[in-house]
Amino acid sequence: MLWTDPFAPLLAPLASAAFSPAGDLSVSENDLVLTLDLPGLTSEDLTIEVQDAELTVRGERKRPQVSEGTTYIYAHRPFGAFEHRIQIPQGVDPDGITASMRDGVLALIVPKPEPLKPKRIAIGSDAAAEDRQLEEAAV
């Protein structure tokens, strides 16, 4: 009698769903906080950069290697490269952004920029300074 693999009918090609991390964005009085669920990744697997008014997180979640002769019967966990972008307010100091990773959760804290405050200009009464300004304007 010929032996047949009882799992053979289950061996359909694996769907290669792209990995897209779940995340949250919260806003407080002073900060924006972005959290991303990145199970199985470490800080070395990620690249975080700011350009213009955009914060970008890139990485790749790789499917674990199985030993030779082993085949997946059931695979629902998504894997692959991902890129997550958010717009940040103009004027954010990129050096003030902090990132931490704990238990597969990435947390990025983006301090809000201080609002531009009006600056009052006093009118001087110094005649010498006024003459200097008039001379510079005439040049």
Q: Residue 24: what pLDDT? A: 95
Q: Residue 12: what pLDDT? A: 46
State the burial class of residue 125 (Cβ atoms within 10 Å of its Cβ: 0-12, 13-18, 19+): exposed
Which CATH class name applies to 12-138?
A: mainly beta
Residue among 21, 16, 60 nearest 38 (CA): 21
Q: Residue 129: what pLDDT? A: 61
Q: Is the pTM of this model over 0.75?
A: no
Longest Cα separation, the chain: 113
Q: Residue 29: what pLDDT? A: 85
Residue with tokens 């070395």: 44
The type of residue at 133 is: Q
Contact 66, 87 (CB under 8 A): no
Q: How many Å apart are CA 15 and CA 90, to the nearest integer? A: 40
List the pLDDT tens digit at each of the 139 positions of the chain: 555 555 545 444 444 458 899 999 999 888 999 999 999 999 999 999 999 889 999 999 998 888 898 888 888 889 999 999 999 988 889 999 999 999 999 999 999 887 755 778 888 776 666 666 666 666 6
